[in-house]
Amino acid sequence: MPRKHKRTTQRASFSSGIILAAVKRVVDDGHKIRQVAKESGVDRSTLSRYVKKYLSGGVHSLQNVGYWGNRSIFSDDQKAILSEYLQRSCRMYFGLTPQEVRELAYEFALKNGKPMPINWHEHSAAGLDWYQGFMSRHREISVRCPKPHP
C-alpha cells in the first residue's frame, strides 16, 4: 500500500503576494517584523530575510519566493534530442561509452551556448553526476559491454 506524503512544515508554502504585502507593511508602514510575521503567518526569520533583500534594492517584486529545483543545463527538448541521438547511434551499432556520452553532452552544451559548470570546461566533458542523473531519468537508454555471439 503506497504511503501518502504528509507535509510537516510550512516552508516555501507562501505566495509572493503574501510575502510582498508583509514586507511592505514592515518597510512602508513601520510595523514590527514580529507583529507582521505573527499576523500574516510567515516565519519571522523568513520575513526578516526578505525585508533585508527589499531594503538593499535586490528585490522589488519578490517574484522568486520559495525554493527552486536543481539547476538544469539542458531544456526538456534538448534532453529528448540527446536521448534520441544516443538511441539512434545504438541502433546503427555505434553505441557510445559513458565517457563518450559525457563528451558529447559537453560539445552539445558548448554548441548551444549553455552555461556550464567550471569542471565541464576543465575536463571537456560533462560530470559523472550529470551522466548518472541523465541515465537514471532516461531508462530507455542503457550502456552494455559488447559480447561476441557464440
C-alpha cell at 13: 508554502
Element (H, E) at 13: none
pLDDT grade for 51, boundaries at 50, 70 and 90: confident
Residue 12 has pLDDT above 80, yes or no: no
C-alpha cell at 41: 503567518
Say what the pLDDT of residue 62 is.
59
* Structural domain spans, the chain: 16-55, 76-137
Q: For residues 74 and 112, give the distance between their C-alpha atoms in angstroms, rounded to a whole number.
A: 9
Angle of the 98-111 helix axis to the 76-91 helix axis, nearest 10: 140
pLDDT grade for 7, boundaries at 50, 70 and 90: low
Q: Mean of the pLDDT values across residues 129-150? A: 81
Pick the CATH number of 16-55 from 3.30.40, 1.10.10, 3.40.50, 1.10.3470: 1.10.10
Angle of the 16-27 helix axis to the 33-40 helix axis, nearest 10: 150
Q: What is the DSSP letter of 56?
A: T
Give Cα 68 to chain centroid, integer Å. Answer: 6
Q: For residues 125 and 13, give the distance between their C-alpha atoms in angstroms, rounded to a whole number.
A: 38
Query: What pTM does this model have?
Result: 0.56
Q: Mean pLDDT check: name the lowest of 34-38, 75-79, 92-96, 118-122.
A: 92-96
Say what the pLDDT of residue 1 is.
46
